[in-house]
Amino acid sequence: MLNFSTAIVVMRVQQKWRAKMRANKVRRKKQHRESRMGAVPITELWDQRAEMVARFRALRRAGLRKWTTNPDVRRMMMESEEKSIWKQGADTVKRLFS
């Protein structure tokens, strides 16, 4: 059982510890924000996603990417690039409305 003075000391130690932890958290967030100042906003990345995918696929085809897929997956990917979902959708719309 704690006596009154011990309880007060414990409370003050906990209070200082919490304040220190909050200050560390704020400092980490500030450092993270400062490190991200030069980063590209996520909205720009989202708008450029088609270009990024095409560039990545071109690099992979040129052998500049470290990993490659197995032959079956590679064949499926090439087929999907040839007839993308957008072309399939356009074909379906043409068929429905012609």
Residues sharing a CB contact under 8 Å with residue 77, sequence separation 6 or more, in sequence order: 69
Whole-number pLDDT of residue 34: 85
Say whether both 33 and 49 belong to one domain: no
Q: Calculate mean pLDDT across residues 34-63.
A: 80
Q: Are residues 4 and 33 in the same domain?
A: yes
Do 31 and 51 lie in a common domain? no
**Domain range for 91:** 45-97
Shared-domain flag, residues 17 and 49: no
Q: What distance in Å separates the CA atoms of residue 80 and residue 73, rounded to the nearest whole number?
A: 10
Q: How many domains does the chain have?
A: 2
Nearest to 77 by CA among 47, 51, 56: 56
Predicted confidence (pLDDT) per residue in 49-80, tens digit: 888 888 887 877 777 665 656 677 667 666 76
Asked if 52 contacts 45 with a C-beta cutoff of 8 angstroms, the reply is yes
CA distances from 41 to 46, 48, 52 (A): 9, 11, 15
Instruction: Tell whether 53 and 89 lie within a shared domain.
Output: yes
Q: Are 49 and 31 part of one and the same domain?
A: no
